[in-house]
Amino acid sequence: MGFTKTKFKTIKLTEGDAIFVHMVLRMYAQQTPGLDSDDKAEIKQVAAKFK
Report CA 14 to chain centroid distance, whole Å: 17
pTM of the model: 0.77
Is the distance from CB of 47 to CB of 30 less than 8 angstroms?
no
Q: What is the pLDDT of residue 16?
A: 97
Rounded Cα distance between 9 and 15, Å, is 19
From the CB of residue 8, how many other CB atoms can be counted at a distance below 10 Å? Answer: 5
d(C-alpha 12, C-alpha 28), whole Å: 23
pLDDT tens digits, 2-49: 678 888 889 899 999 999 999 999 999 999 999 999 999 999 999 999
> Does the pLDDT of residue 1 top 70, yes or no?
no
